[in-house]
Amino acid sequence: ETGVTQTPRHLVMGMTNKKSLKCEQHLGHNAMYWYKQSAKKPLELMFVYNFKEQTENNSVPSRFSPECPNSSHLFLHLHTLQPEDSALYLCASSQDRGGVDTDTQYFGPGTRLTVL
Amino acid sequence: DQQVKQNSPSLSVQEGRISILNCDYTNSMFDYFLWYKKYPAEGPTFLISISSIKDKNEDGRFTVFLNKSAKHLSLHIVPSQPGDSAVYFCAVLNEKLTFGTGTRLTIIP
């Protein structure tokens, strides 16, 4: 496997379900990101992890809970979501989170989430 | 308030001609700009970037132009090929990466 992978690619869940999205990067990067892409909106940054530590949380509701056990893996735990949370969730990684030369982000294919 | 704007949601260009994708930003402090390309069912892939100390960067068929006074960024693709059909996002990097809404480019054979 190369690059950034995400599983599952598609997920349908009810509002009372608990599910998790998984992201894995095989690039030796130290920073990982979760983005949300809703229809006709810009990509929205949700969380940033740098060297396994969360460095940014852009006012994301607590029903989204990230976890970064190591620099290669990033999870997004979902519980009691709302229909408006239906979107494409993209994971990205970059070499570091410090400067423009190291911050170019490489994206996974995304998980298409539908909340019923 | 959107800091990065791509005002054209879609663009169609004949194969072999030049495609010009535009992007406007609001903050003159932004200092690094990127273009990403996205195919359906895939994540965005990095295409080309430019630093604010330059006004042009070229990589093969792709050239990015930066007009700092107008706070305007453009991506030129020449000649356009059918495989260039995708959604193109501009992004600015200050403390974080902020994306525009994207422009869907369709190359007509």
Q: Looking at residue A101, what is its pLDDT? A: 52
CA distance A4 to chain B (A): 9
User: Cβ separation of B43 and A42 shorter than 8 Å?
Assistant: no
Segment B40-49, tens digit of pLDDT: 877 888 899 9
Residues A107, B36: C-beta atoms closer than 8 Å:
yes
Q: Is the pLDDT of residue A98 over 60?
A: no
Of the ranges A49-58, B7-16, B81-90, which one carries the lowest mean pLDDT score?
A49-58
Per-residue pLDDT band for A55 (boundaries 50, 70, 90) equals confident
Q: What is the pLDDT of residues A69-85, one digit of tens each?
A: 999 999 999 999 999 99
Query: A73, A79, A66: which is closest to A113 by C-alpha?
Result: A79
C-alpha to C-alpha distance for B19 and B75, rounded to whole angstroms: 8
Check if B36 contacts A (Cβ < 8 Å).
Answer: yes
How many other CB atoms are there within 10 angstroms of residue B40's CB atom? Answer: 7
Distance, CA of A56 to CA of A63 (rounded, Å):
16
Q: Distance (Å, rounded) from C-alpha B96 to C-alpha A54?
A: 14
pLDDT at A102: 55
Residue A2 clears pLDDT 80, i.e. is over it: no
Residue of B65, B66, B60 whose CA lies nearest to B80: B60
Q: Taking a C-beta distance cutoff of 8 angstroms, is the pair B63, B79 a contact?
A: no
- DSSP state letters, A92-106: EEES-SSSTTT---E
Q: Residue A42: which of B32, B49, B100 has the nearest Cβ? A: B100
A-interface mutation test, from B97, B98, B101, most A Cβ less than 10 A away: B97
How long is chain A?
A: 116
Q: What is the CA radius of gyration of chain A?
A: 13
Whether residue A107 and residue B45 make contact (CB cut-off 8 A), yes or no, is yes
Give CA angle at B103 (B97, B107), nearest 5°.
Answer: 135
Q: What's the rounded mean pLDDT across residues B33-60?
A: 89
Structure tokens at B84: 């260039």
| Alpha-carbon gap, residue B1 to A115, rounded angstroms | 27
The encoded tokens of residue B70 equal 């107008």
Tell me the shortest Cα–Cα distance from B63 to chain A, in angstroms: 18
Tell me which chain B residues have a C-beta less than 8 angstroms from the C-beta of A43: 44, 89, 99
Chains A, B: CB pairs < 8 Å: 49
Residue A46 is predicted with a pLDDT of: 93
**In 3D, which of A108, A94, A115, A23 has the Cα closest to residue B38?**
A108
Q: What's the rounded mean pLDDT across residues B26-35?
A: 86
Å between A22 CA and nearest CA of chain B? 15
Rounded Cα gap, residues B63 and B77, in angstroms: 7
**Per-residue pLDDT band at A1 (split at 50, 70, 90):** low
* CB nearest to B96's CB, from A45, A90, A91: A45
Listed by number, the residues of chain B in 57-86 with a beta carbon closer than 8 Å to a beta carbon of chain A are none
Nearest CA-CA distance, residue A8 and chain B, Å: 12
